Amino acid sequence: MTGKPLISGYDALLSDLDGVVYAGQQAVPGAAEALEGLADTGTALGYITNNASRSSEQVAAHLRELGAPATADQVFGSARAGALLLARHVPAGSKVLVTGSQTLADEIAAQGFIPVRSALEAPAAVIQGFDPALGWKELAEASFAVASGAFWIATNTDMTIPRERGIAPGNGALVAAVQAATGAVPLVAGKPEAGIFTTAAAALGAHRPLVVGDRLDTDILGGNKAGMDTAVVLTGVDGPEAVLGASTAERPRYLLGSLAELYLPYPAVIRDGAGFRCGAAHAAIENGGLRVSGSRDDVDTWRAACAAWWNAYPDQAAAATPELVD
């Protein structure tokens, strides 16, 4: 492994939060230190979050408590993205049913809308974002309004969210409940749509950002849609098997064990005979399966495996994890 640190090729890092920097209230080991080190490299830092339950100021304060560098203007959340998207479709001054946090309601009000909490108010639109306090009554009000023809925006559709005790239902699961009740499909503001990434890059003055996240269907897909290089870090939701079997649209350019690897040269993955080699690991297609030599605990093994499988199946519309043969 020779060459320059991976991060040296980029002028900004656009980092996800849950599963990358923290899980619930707990920091991911080593993440804060890695983010702190960006200042020494001259790399700008932005945080991209689909969590619409907290303001940018609250998110930044939490990050600082964990030891990570953060100011409110470095936090780009789906609540603001949702409010901006709504402003493109619904006239200012309209009533909007807010199914979500006070932060989301404040963002809606800042765009000139009137936040309401009941479908009886005849809202012109519904905006739905994550709030751990949401219950059946709130979802029912959203369903009533959407079924009556209200324009519907979801801040994000993450099906799960990492917590200290494990993986819990995310906003996507709550959106799915309203969708099941109404048959409607919302317009989505946050990840995996490209806008939240391009907005963040423009605000940071970045021309070559690197997107890092733990989820293929939001972080990686969204970064890819935005035309940015992407890196999946194996500290959150999606493990190496999921990365290996990812659809083409959700395949990252880089596979990292932790954020600390940003400061290392990225290991070369080279063609070797009928397969690919990375470090001591080798992978090759064999009888429709994937023969892999190397420890499953070594990220290089998965880098070689991804190279071999993706080379053989470059156009995968859906996830398909191969059978692994030792």
Q: Helix, strand or coil for residue 189?
A: coil
Residue 259 in tokens = 């954020």
H or E stretch including 161? strand 160-163
- The DSSP symbol for 313 reads -
3-class secondary structure per residue, 232-283? EECCCCCCHHHHHCCCHHHCCCEEECCHHHHHCCCCCEEEECCEEEECCEEE
pLDDT in tens, 131-140: 999 999 999 9
**Across-strand partners of 285?**
290
Mean pLDDT throughout 53-65? 93
Residue 35 CA to residue 82 CA, distance in Å, equals 27
User: Could you tell me the pLDDT band of residue 167, with boundaries at 50, 70 and 90?
Assistant: confident
Residue 78 CA to residue 59 CA, distance in Å, equals 12
User: Could you tell me the pLDDT band of residue 8, with boundaries at 50, 70 and 90?
Assistant: very high
Residues annotated as catalytic are 16, 18
- The answer to whether residue 84 scores a pLDDT higher than 80 is yes
Question: Strands 160-163 and 166-169: what pairing?
Answer: antiparallel
Q: What is the mean pLDDT of the chain?
A: 94
Amino acid in the structure at residue 174: L
pLDDT in tens, 187-229: 999 999 998 999 899 999 999 999 999 999 999 999 999 999 9
Residue 23: phi and psi, rounded to 5, are -125, 105
- The answer to whether residue 1 scores a pLDDT higher than 80 is no
Mean pLDDT throughout 77-90? 92
Cα 127 to chain centroid, rounded: 20
User: For residue 9, what are the contacts with CB-CB under 8 A and spacing of at least 6?
Assistant: 208, 210
Residue 175 CA to residue 124 CA, distance in Å, equals 18
- The answer to whether residue 21 scores a pLDDT higher than 60 is yes
User: Could you tell me the pLDDT band of residue 2, with boundaries at 50, 70 and 90?
Assistant: low
Residue 211: phi and psi, rounded to 5, are -95, 130
Q: What percent of the chain lies above the pLDDT cut of 90?
A: 86
Residues 69/31, Cβ–Cβ less than 8 Å: no
Residue 228 in tokens = 């940015």
Q: What percent of the chain lies above the pLDDT cut of 70?
A: 99
CA 233, 172, 197, 18: dihedral to nearest 10 degrees? -40
**Across-strand partners of 27?**
22
pLDDT in tens, 267-307: 999 999 999 999 999 999 998 889 999 999 999 999 999 99
